[in-house]
Amino acid sequence: MKPKTMTFVEHLEELRWVFIKSLLAVLAGTAVCLGFSPKIYAWLQAPLAKILPEGSHFIATTPFESYAAYFKVALVFGFLLATPFVFFFFWNFLRHGLEDHERRGVIPIALATSALFVGGALFGYFVVFPTGFRFVVGILEGTGIVFYPRMSDYLSFSLRLLIAFGVIFELPLFLLILGKLGLVNAKQLGKARKYAIILIFLVAGILTPGPDVLSQILMALPLLVLFEVGIVLVRVFGAKQPKLATEENSTGVLP
């Protein structure tokens, strides 16, 4: 049976319901996580709490700071909990306008995106956080300064870094998409390797909690590996010739 043709207004109405259902899913996820907020926050603060010197601890400087921190934790992790449902709602809306080969590619890309994001966040939590925080705490030894991290400040800082780690770990997928679009190829990426190394160490220096060289190296090394993985993926699955070069050849700019 031929699928029903929808008008522009009907598409807008369906999209509106997609946003409404997505919002309800996020609110439901937030409600579920709200009861576990103290435990989730304790898990988030563990890398720093374990290395705080005796007499130092987390503090709240306003009456409702702890409530605001717990609600923010519930909102962020509620959104993460609702992500599969949000993806399903938008996928169900978009799939009618996609070709068969495009539909087959959406699910693997979505799974790869989630896996890389989670992997990056976990790497930051288990590897970079302890090293960077150890430097931050150790630099105050013998100064007479007692470190009392605020709940809200630490939460914003840790969430920002975890999200940043998750995003930059999408590097291989980003390169693969550029390769599939024919914008780059493996040869071009190989030639740009020396510039990529400089950029990666610059990004690592900005993102790591402490200015010590060890934490920057721990951040940069996996990014270098991911860049090389991206080159391999582009070589295997990317377009055979960059799109820009093809357009230049067709206009006679290049021989």
Residue 30 domain flag: yes
The tally of domains found in the chain comes to 2
Residue 70 domain flag: yes
Residue 237 domain flag: yes
Residues 57, 163, single domain; the answer is: yes
Question: Residue 51 has which token pair?
Answer: 């290395």
Q: Which of 135-139, 154-158, 179-183 has the highest mean pLDDT?
A: 154-158
Residue 224 domain flag: yes
Q: What is the pTM of this model?
A: 0.78
Please state which of the ranges 74-78, 148-152, 174-178 shows the lowest mean pLDDT: 174-178
| 183 vs 177: CA distance, rounded Å | 9
Q: Which residues of 191-201 are buried (b: 16+ CB within 10 A; e: fewer)?
A: eeeeebeeebb
CB 182 within 8 Å of CB 246: yes
Greater model confidence, 197 or 131? 197
Please state which of the ranges 147-156, 170-179, 242-251 shows the lowest mean pLDDT: 242-251
Residue 40 domain flag: yes
Residue where one domain finishes, among candidates 150, 169, 188 = 169
Residue 254 domain flag: no
CB 137 within 8 Å of CB 210: no
Residue 166, classified by CB atoms within 10 Å of its CB into exposed (0-12), middle (13-18) or buried (19+), is buried
Amino acid residing at 255: P
CB 150 within 8 Å of CB 65: yes
Domain holding 114, by residue range, is 1-169
